[in-house]
A and B are shown apart, each in its own frame.
Chain A
Amino acid sequence: MGDKKKQKMTPEQQQYQELEQKHELKRPVVKNCIKAFLVGGLICTIGQAITYFYIYFFNFTEQTAGNPTVATMIFLSMLLTGFGVYDHIGQFAGAGSAVPVTGFGNSVISAAIEHRTEGFVLGVGGNMFKLAGSVILFGVFAAFVVALVKTLLTMMGVL
């Protein structure tokens, strides 16, 4: 914590902070990172295998195989979430399972399952994109900004 923030606190608050720091469990950051790296890498390896599957058996090139691969990975993670397996993967790997596109499928289905008791329309329908909505919003916005920058650069003759 910064010194400035500490100065603003009352003596009681400072005392509480010290007490809290004494009892707080240390997070195994390195261990978590290694777990996330391994599981995230494994998910990406499976994705790469699926890409090669689409390239070899269907008329997809390296450039076009990305779309069906993403769809397949999301579908698989949705199935695994429904079966209750992805939760365990998430608990074990943390960001390793949330950052790849499979984490998106998990966030959609887990929200749908959570609100199932509230009905199909206002429960599942209304809350399905509670977590994934921000991903879609910022994804679309980022794509818009990148496209804008590229169009400007192309118009200026840089690209």
Chain B
Amino acid sequence: MMNMKQAVNLLAILIMLGAGTAGCTSFGKTSPESRASMIQSVNPDPGATNDLDEKDIKLAKKVKKDIAALDEIYDVAVITGKKEILVAYKVKHLKRFGMKRIEKEINKKLEKNYPDEDFIVSSDYKIFIEAVELRERMKDPSFPDKKAEEQLQRIISLKKELT
């Protein structure tokens, strides 16, 4: 059995490890919304990389409304690009057992409602965080559309990465 001193040492090391990993969140990305999106619902506005195109924005809003209607989902981010539409969502914790089924359901719904559009659907936290981050940057009027599209393509390539 451990004596008191060893137990205190062990506890100190565990606390240091925990604090080390937790403390790392205080630097890095700046957007408070993307930071908050890790633990709570942030409900980001739907947007389009070409923010002058009313049609794209309308479409993004409609897609968001459609997906948010599902019971298992609690946060949806939709960004319309030139060709693809990125749909990132977060699944309620206890419903995560049925992730594949939910993804299938969403794909089916989108294909039925918008047969002409090309969707990139993801339940990954990283894709959601990046989508929120991009949406935040797009709010700045000086952020060029071309850069927004580039960023969107980067997120899509990240989604396709497997290893």
Contact = CB atoms under 8 A, between A and B. Distances in A.
A59 B25 CA distance: 15
In terms of DSSP, what is the predominant structure of the interface of chain B? helix
A88 B161 contact: no
B131 interface: no
Interface stretch (A8-16, A44-52, A124-132, A142-150): A44-52
A61 interface: yes
Interface stretch (B15-23, B64-72, B144-152): B15-23
A62 B122 CA distance: 11
B38 A91 contact: no
Interface in B109-150: 124-127, 129
A52 B35 CA distance: 11
A138 interface: no
A89 B17 contact: no
Nearest to B25: A56
B9 A85 contact: yes
What size tier do the contact residues of chain B reach?
20 to 34
A60 B21 contact: no
A99 interface: no
What size tier do the contact residues of chain A reach?
20 to 34
A17 interface: no
A76 interface: yes
B129 A85 contact: no
A56 B29 contact: yes
Given A56-B38, A85-B10, A85-B13, A61 B18 contact: no
A53 B21 contact: yes
A49 B22 CA distance: 7
B14 A42 contact: yes
A38 to B, nearest CB: 12
A117 interface: no
B162 to A, nearest CB: 7
A70 interface: no
A151 interface: no
A50 B17 CA distance: 10
A62 B124 contact: yes
Given A46-B18, A52-B38, A56-B25, A62 B13 contact: no
Given A46-B17, A85-B13, A53 B127 contact: no
A55 interface: yes
B163 A64 contact: yes
Given A42-B14, A88-B2, A55 B21 contact: no
